[in-house]
Structure 1
Amino acid sequence: MINGELIDLRAGAYEARIATQGATLVHLRHEGRDVVVPFDAEAAMPEGWQGRALVPWPNRIKDSAYTYCGQTYPVPCNEPATGSALHGLVGWSDFAVASDTPQEGELSEVPLELALPASYAYPWALEISVRFHLDAADGLTVTTTSTNVGAAVSTRATTGAPVLDGVSAPAPYGVSCHPYLTRSVPLDECVLEVPAALVLDVDPHTMAPLGTREVAGTDWDWRAGRLVGATQTDNAYTGLPEGPWSVTLTGGEGGHSAVITSDVPWCQLYSADRLGRPGVAVEPMTCPPNAFNTGEDLITLAVGESHEFVYRLSEKA
């Protein structure tokens, strides 16, 4: 129970394991080959947020505080090295398996549900569903749906949601995921392809955004696909194609590719340097780092409104 309940899914040559804590993808394999870096969920916690759902913001909030509609909210700092609030509020929460999930037989799908209450850091209540669906042809599709179900009012001693024209302001919102693509060989030996034209530079000490620039002519141009070698990255990328786009990691025996597909405007890449470079974290994001302060590509959810985020993981020959 270190990572909550563990659920195994199977479909054709694909198999996946899901942990309820953090709605976490523990492993995904195709014909016995790892598509994502796995971990032993029965004995250990994941490294580097492996496979976790990132809600209601991805990446970092600078200085662990944000100002929204004139109100400032302190957020718990969980990355002391940068002073940041990292990866939202649900990564260590235990989701529940939906009550209508079959209790017997082999599963190819599981929906997980979580009620996130309002807090001093985030005075909106969300109902969150993460549905994992494994298909023999298409691989694993993960759909995260969040609904704003209420906004806390301010009291004498507590700052609730801001009020605009007599109505509670909509909830600021962003979402992502944290799988590490792998080919079960060192990342340096793999070819990475990312269809992003822009990279976000960051302050090396705080990881706060400094501004985007063209990838052309830099070490962060992956558009044609190239050997990773010793290149390091922990950056957000944008300038992605309209509609679905894919990031591909190719290498290892047989030259198969691990593929992640989404349609959101941002993608964080992390070369997992602190983990020994077993793969690359590829995090499709609806907004860039620190969006709760900048407002860039920030989603807002009025009470009763929902947002759906979808990504797919697969292996291609």
Structure 2
Amino acid sequence: MADASAARAVARPRSGAQYAIAAAGYTADVASVGASLRTLRHAADGSTARDLVVPFDADELRPGYRGATLAPWPNRIVDGRYAFDGASFQLPLTEPARGQALHGLASWLDFAPRIVEAARVVLAAVVEPQAGYPFRVEVEVEYRLDADGLTQTVTGRNLGDDAAPWGTGPHPYLVAGEGRVDDWTLELPADSVLTVTPDRLSPVAVEPVEAHPEFDFRAARPIASTFIDHAFTGLRAGAGGAGGEASGASDAASHLVVLTAADGGGVEMSWGAACPWVQVHTADTPGAETTHRIGLAVEPMTCPPDAFNSGTDLVVLEPGAEHVAGWRIAAR
């Protein structure tokens, strides 16, 4: 019995190998499966550390896409079908209830370490050619902590002989402080929203937020009971707040989303021009109180939903080419 207990004690956690990094009052845990951000906490001036993202346990099967790295596409491909370079492809429907191919192919890959330091970890995995995506693309993910918070940088490299469609983004659920999404205030500097069908969340049209005032958070206001699972664009550039310029940005200005709790504390996320889109989701799971609206998903994206079909902001990786995008999460 003792030997069996010892075997269980050293068993590999369900979320894969674990990497802990720390710097300047921040701590983070990264899990190798999906290069997932498992925890991010901050303690200011000796105070108790608080969560900046919804965490999950090392030996827990990661809940959905919480903290995962999304590649080689973020969000949905409608019906899992697309055409590229004169050929048609069918992907597995990983969101069967809606009949969509959701969030890429990297989220359950086991990423291997390349660099492991006290405040920085770099992991990599290869998306091998497969049904629906016959391209070989390496996904390299860096997490780095410093006084400005956590920076994540994703690099896609085409290792194959053919051009490959590419997109990426993260999937953190931000936590402003005490309470739930309904209790927090959101500032989202986006002029346009991508409307979607109510049943499958398939894209319909990009429209000004003035036409949909429930999604207009250009001036900070409470989220309250608003349901959001939409992509936004027309992002206004700003100074970047504490986050400054995120890696992969092509200019010094960053887009900035701020989530604030009732006590004035909060969390912000910033990124540069490499991500002209952001998906925001209020994490609605009616009937499941342990997960219902406990965090706000903020997902900077290099392209919108269904970009493999629309071609909007789609990155085409030529053989040997790479693409870099990054974002930063910081305490307020």
TM value normalised by structure 2: 0.85
Out of 179, 182, 207, the residue aligned to residue 172 of structure 2 is: 179
Match of 1:125 among 112, 117, 136: 136
Gaps of 5+ in 2: 1-12, 44-48, 238-252, 286-290
Task: Give the root-mean-square deviation of aligned CA atoms.
Answer: 1.2
| Pair 48,255 (structure 1): closer, same or farther in 2 beyond 3 Å | farther
Please name the residue that 1:246 is paired with. Answer: 256
Secondary structure of the equivalent of 2:210?
Answer: coil
Q: Which amino acid letter does the alignment assign opposite residue 186 of structure 2?
A: L
Q: What's the counterpart of residue 261 of structure 1?
A: 270
1:220 partnered with 2:251: no
- Specify the alignment match of 1:292 in structure 2: 308
* 1:197 partner SS: strand
Structure 2 residue aligned with 1:115: 126
Shift of 1:29: 0.5
2:95 to 67, 79, 82: 79
SS of the aligned residue for 2:160 comes to strand
1:95-114 map, 5 Å: 95-98=111-114, 100-101=115-116, 107-114=118-125
Q: Which one-letter code corresponds to 2:173 in the other structure?
A: Y
Q: What does the per-residue CA deviation read over 1:147-197, in whole Å, with 9 as the maximum and x for residues that have no partner?
A: 00103xxxxxxxxxxxxxxxx4x2111001000111241111100110000
| Structure 1 residues 269-284: aligned runs within 5 Å | 269-274=280-285, 275-284=291-300
Where does residue 143 of structure 1 map in the other structure?
Answer: 153
Question: What is the CA distance between 1:305 and its match in structure 2?
Answer: 0.3
C-alpha displacement at 1:41, in angstroms?
A: 2.2
Alignment-derived partner of residue 304 in structure 1 = 320
Whole-angstrom CA distance in 1 between matches of 2:155 and 2:208? 32
Residue number in structure 2 paired with 1:159: none
1:2, 1:41 within 8 Å by CA — same for their partners in 2? yes
Cross-structure match for 2:29: 17
Residue in 1 that maps onto 2:191: 197
Task: Find the counterpart in structure 1 of residue 202 from structure 2.
Answer: 208
- Cα 1:17–1:184 change in 2 (3 A) is farther
Kept in 2: contact 1:34–1:184 (CA 8 A): no
Shift of 1:101: 2.9
Paired residues of 1:96 and 1:112 also in contact (CA < 8 A): yes
Q: Distance in 1 between matches of 2:194 and 2:100?
A: 17
Give 1:229 deviation, angstroms: 0.5
Unpaired runs of 5+ in structure 1?
152-167
Aligned mates of 1:230, 1:206 — CA distance in 2 = 21
Q: Work out the number of aligned pairs and report it.
A: 291
Deviation at 1:7, TM superposition (A): 1.0
Q: Which shifted more, 237-246 or 53-62?
A: 237-246
Q: TM-score, normalised by structure 1?
A: 0.89
Give identity over the alignment, percent.
41
